[in-house]
A = this chain, B = another copy of it.
């Protein structure tokens, strides 16, 4: 029931809180964790529209940061005995989360209630609400 966890993170505080709930499921049989971070390509498009921004450099920076953050989460989980897979995807976050959950046949999705970017969420709606609405799998939402 709780064996394969998909943990979606944008590295926000609430995502970090959700990470504790991932670890806490070990006793209930959780063994495999997929850590997923999605780089929102709509932000990239927004940046492209601002002439003074070097969108490519910013995106490269995001990827590097994501890689470092995810590597550290991975070792943390491995120290506890979990098998860990990592994904950094580019796209529309809720769609990528649902796609990866299906592909990896996740038993449960664990996610924070709110993303890092309050403005993006206001404009585009909450990623988490869409995941809860559209996923076919159980979703554990951790609140701020």
Contacts and interface: CB of A to CB of B under 8 A. Distances in A.
A102 to B, nearest CB: 12
A142 interface: yes
Interface of A: 1-2, 20-21, 24-29, 108, 113, 128-129, 132-133, 135-143
A27 B136 CA distance: 24
A14 to B, nearest CB: 11
16 contacts: A1-B24, A2-B24, A2-B25, A21-B138, A24-B28, A24-B29, A25-B28, A27-B29, A28-B28, A108-B140, A128-B132, A129-B132, A132-B141, A135-B143, A138-B140, A138-B143
A29 B135 CA distance: 27
A27 B26 CA distance: 8
Nearest to A137: B143
Nearest to A20: B1
A138 B141 CA distance: 5
Contact of A129 (B26, B129, B138): B129
Closest 5 CB pairs of A and B: A27-B27, A27-B28, A1-B24, A28-B28, A140-B140
